[in-house]
Amino acid sequence: MSKAEWPVTPLAEIRQLGGLLIALGLAVLWAFLAARSPGVTYHFAPVLIASAWVAIDGLSEAGSTPRRAVNQALIGLGLAIITTLILWTKGDLEGPVLWDHSESAPVLFENLLFAVLGALIGLTIAIRHAANG
């Protein structure tokens, strides 16, 4: 019996989706924190959200393929962008950005930039681990 034919247990399914669950949890945590204190900027939340699933899956032994890694990176990027847009629409992204502390600081741009950076970091981690293992 090959490994692909083994019955999938609920624990194995959870393990395969662990990175996704962590990314979703981080998005909910960021939304909660931003709603409680909109003047505080959580600069690296989009990076963590966008990179979590692809990096965790790439580092685990879930059998990540390059195609799967790209899909996970794009989904993580989408989750970070959707969370950013929801928070921006609600007015919960009022804090400063890393390079500008004025009233007209481009918080939305910073979050979108960090989301793309996070997806690229996660993808790089997954691809490097796949190449070494």
Q: How much is the average pLDDT of 64-68?
A: 79
For the chain, the helix, strand and coil percentages under 3-state DSSP, each to the nearest 5: 70, 0, 30
Q: pTM for the full model?
A: 0.83
pLDDT of residue 130: 72
pLDDT of residue 69: 85
pLDDT score of 2 more than 50: no
Mean pLDDT of the chain: 84
Q: What is the DSSP string of 7-41?
A: PPPHHHHHHHTHHHHHHHHHHHHHHHHHHH-TTS-
